[in-house]
Amino acid sequence: MVDLRYFAWLRERIGTSHEQMNTDAETVADLVEELKARDDVYAQVFSDPAGIRVAVDQELVEFDAPLKNTREVAFFPPMTGG
């Protein structure tokens, strides 16, 4: 079971900030494919991965990062702090 978190426009488009998912995905990219296959909203949100950042257990990673023993995966746009 993985906790999924969404922020900013991804949260608004998906319609939730948080959900749980049963998955055997080995990498973030695999997980994204699983989400896209769910329905059109996810397919649209993840249609341009270049505009999305991902954190695994609160560490920024690339989409090829492994998901072994992962508890939390967060998707969000490039940060605009400061």
Partner 1 sequence: MRIRVQAAPFDPGAELTAFSRTAKGAGAIISFTGITRDLPGASLRHMLVEHYPGMTEKTLNRIATLALKRWSLKRVLILHRYGRMAPGDPIMMVATAAKHRAEAFQAAGFLMDYMKSRAPFWKKEVSEAGETWVKAREEDETALNRWQA
Give one DSSP letter per residue of 19-46, joined into a string. EEE----SBHHHHHHHHHHH-HHHHHHT
Compute the least distance from the CB of residue 78 to partner 1, in Å.
4
C-beta of 33 vs 60, nearer to partner 1: 60
What does the binding site for partner 1 look like in residue numbers (CB under 8 A)? 5, 7-9, 11, 55, 58, 60, 74, 76-82
C-beta of 15 vs 78, nearer to partner 1: 78
| Cβ neighbours of residue 52 closer than 8 Å, sequence gap 6 or more | 10, 46, 75, 76, 77
C-beta of 18 vs 38, nearer to partner 1: 18
